[in-house]
Structure 1
Amino acid sequence: MSENVYVISAAMIPFGKHRSSSYVGLAVSPLVDAIRDAGIEKSDIDAVYVGHSYGGMMTGQRICKEIGLGTVPTVNVDNACSSGATAVHEARNAIAQGVIDVAVVIGVEKLTQFGGGALPLSPEDREVKQGIIMPAVYAMRATRYLHDTDATPEDLALVSVKSRKHGALNPFAQFRTETTVEEVLSARPIADPLTLPMCCPTGDGAAVVVLVSERARARMDAKPGIRVAASVLHSGHVEEGFRDMTWPDISYHSARDAYAQAGIEPKDLDMIELHDAFSIAELVYYEILGLAERGHAVDLIRDDRTTFGGDVVVNPSGGLLSKGHPVGASGVAQVAEAFWQLTGQAGARQIEDARWGMTHVTGGGTAGLDHGACTIHIFEAA
């Protein structure tokens, strides 16, 4: 692959509970905004990729027809929480291989259709049959991590406090009010040691990005954008019996491949949007992504090294914990945040002189796999 690929626009709606909206209703507005901001016409679009998990058949086609966008290939992508990021990965590959020049990527999900509670998992899975749900999985992960390190429930709360602080600066976040460690620890318990603010909310949302080749970008007079320096998609390996829940290999190997592809190291990153579906996940991923030695993630959160003014700003958008986690939309929304940060358009949450950014999202709870899918992108300001 020799063709450089760029993200040249991004748009989204505020994540939250949009009970009266359909999948089409959620996605049309940011789709129109992203196309307009990219300065392209519908006739310029070569393909559309749509990430979702619960939207049903032909979700992308139903969305695109509302703006009169037809005939071009429209690909629907279901890869659990990694759906939107996988759609970005597929669009990037098609452009990098010279197959197309302009792609629109939509991530959309409407989780309020389930009425609340944990998201449904595959009834065919043997662990699901025994009653496993994602809050329980991450609670077990947290319990083991607290046992193996000097981390405490207060450290888990610090992650949520930081998330809410960042989310308060983001007009697209589902939660926009700050909180305290005491409030997090005294909140309603969900699965010990996790309380409600340590768990991402369910909600609805949509995000859209436009990707183009270097040829297409040149025709647009080098419109401001970010270069896709790395795009990696892995599936989990099968490991029956005992598995170390504090060390998800899929993210470790995906990150190493992404760093190698981009030609950078963890210390070069200015911002990361990572998969903090539960507060323990952020601590685990500090170590997996190479920000901290194993067992020492708490040093970063305690010393404010992953917030504004620190070593690297993790989840400046508020992350899944505060921005929200409408499954199929999350990966695209992460890319949107990277675009805004690296092009200086992030407003009150802007990271000073941000040049390198990473997005990371995993998907799927399946017996025998650490995760079903992991997608990592690294971007460079262009």
Structure 2
Amino acid sequence: MAKVAVIGVGQSAFVRAYPGSIRELAFEAYKDAMRDAGIKPEQIDASVICSAPEYDKQRTPAGLMAEYLGLNPQPTFYVESVCSSSSSGLRTAYALVASGLHDVVMVLGFQKMSEISSAESQERMGRGADIQWEAPFGTMMPAYYAMYARGHFEKYGTTEEDLGLIRLKSSTYGVINEKAVFRKSLTLEKILEPKYIATPLKMMDCCANADGSSCVIVASEEKAKDLCSKPVWIKGLGMATAPINMAGRDSFSGLKCAQLAAKRAYEMAGISPSDVNVAEVHDCFTIAEMMAYEDLGFARQGEGPQLIRNKETYKEGKIPVNVDGGLLSKGHPIGATGGSQIRTIVLQLRDEAGPMQVPGAKIGLVHNIGGVGIYGNVSIFGVE
């Protein structure tokens, strides 16, 4: 397979209510990525636009973005896998470049969730479940992940305090991430206040909706070496799916789609979990990060709590995870989330992550989940 590299990354600040339009929001990440890559619009052969369309008032946003960003008449594609949309977009861009069809492809993810009310947003999230057999009964994202938390608690003895320690870590790094929504240090006592959203998940166990955009530019080996002094290579890509109906799942203590995606990504990259120096995982809820530790092989099944209790997932630990604050601190603008995770890892591998930098990071991993484990994307990056 041909080599493909990331040559530019960008991200808007993630905010609760962006005052402009979706095209203006997208431009903020695009501008940063284009400046980072040092290229002009005419050098982009194709674009992949990613969002969850149920939150957008604009139909066919790919056409809108291509026009506004000066990318006509190049081809544009629209990719959606809910919360993992821009990681699926990266997979699409990789295929377009590795096949030789295009040399430089831009992946742009965005979401302006403040365009609709919180109640409308929750209703649309519920429709991420089967609209015939589950959504009509009032299923919501916190309740689904609470079910997984209960499963993990019952099977392995995990506690609410274990999940609280994950949120404590998130706040530690959210403070130093200028792109994050929440930049406030928290205490474990505050985190464990019994403000339950869906037992055992409390308010601080849940990420918040946000408005934001992210942009990743990938290129062929020849173009990357010509255009970029610090290319970051895409080493492995894994993707898998699981039944949308919970009745079709055989486990509620881990996400099978993440486990299979990780296995495929590790095989493609030719590495094992112990080779990863820094990771970004999909922590929409604290239990999601806990399961990711185990699904990705950073800990054996049931031993994820030991990682966070021993601070092994802090920057100084053996496998730093979400040292940009994760979704819990950054916020979760659905279509932009995967691209933001990729940006963090690219900056880490280029030694450009500032106060969040993990010293000597050479291999990074992104774990991005769509829905309640419906889609799983794992992407591995390296500097060689």
TM-score (norm 1): 0.94
Say if 1:178 and 1:98 are closer, same or farther in 2 by CA, change over 3 A. same
Identity %: 33
Aligned with 1:175 (options 174, 179, 182): 182
Distance in 1, matches of 2:106 and 2:44, equals: 7
RMSD: 1.6
Is 1:16 aligned to residue 15 of structure 2? yes
2:365 is paired with a residue whose SS is strand
1:68-83 equivalences under 5 Å are 68-83=70-85
Distance in 2, matches of 1:372 and 1:148, equals: 22
Distance in 1, matches of 2:225 and 2:255, equals: 40
Residue 33 of structure 1: how far off its partner (Å): 2.1
Match for residue 368 of structure 1?
A: none
Say if 1:71 and 1:247 are closer, same or farther in 2 by CA, change over 3 A. same
Residue 364 of structure 1: how far off its partner (Å): 2.3
Residue 160 of structure 1: how far off its partner (Å): 0.4
**Aligned residue type for 1:60:** A
Aligned with 2:230 (options 224, 235, 253): 224
Aligned with 1:265 (options 272, 281, 286): 272
1:360-371 equivalences under 5 Å are 360-365=367-372, 371=373
Aligned with 1:235 (options 237, 241, 244): 241
Match for residue 60 of structure 2?
A: 58
Is 1:94 aligned to residue 96 of structure 2? yes
Say if 1:288 and 1:42 are closer, same or farther in 2 by CA, change over 3 A. same
Is 1:352 aligned to residue 342 of structure 2? no
TM-score (norm 2): 0.94
Q: Note if contact 1:18-1:112 (Cα within 8 Å) is conserved in structure 2.
A: yes
Aligned with 1:112 (options 101, 111, 114): 114
Match for residue 300 of structure 2?
A: 293
Say if 1:241 and 1:345 are closer, same or farther in 2 by CA, change over 3 A. closer
Distance in 2, matches of 1:145 and 1:124, equals: 27
Q: Note if contact 2:13-2:212 (Cα within 8 Å) is conserved in structure 1.
A: yes
Residue 61 of structure 1: how far off its partner (Å): 2.2
Aligned with 2:377 (options 341, 355, 375): 375
Residue 170 of structure 1: how far off its partner (Å): 0.8
Unaligned stretches of 5+ residues in structure 2: none
CA distances 1:119-169 after superposition (whole Å, capped 9, x unpaired): 513272411111111100111111221122222111110000001111111
1:144 is paired with a residue whose SS is helix
Q: Note if contact 1:237-1:250 (Cα within 8 Å) is conserved in structure 2.
A: no
How many residue pairs get matched?
A: 375
Distance in 2, matches of 1:237 and 1:188, equals: 31
Distance in 1, matches of 2:339 and 2:311, equals: 27
Unaligned stretches of 5+ residues in structure 1: 366-370
Deviates more, 1:233-242 or 1:278-287: 233-242
**Aligned residue type for 2:82:** A
Residue 43 of structure 1: how far off its partner (Å): 1.3
Q: Note if contact 1:187-1:197 (Cα within 8 Å) is conserved in structure 2.
A: no
Distance in 1, matches of 2:197 and 2:383, equals: 40
Distance in 1, matches of 2:49 and 2:19, equals: 21
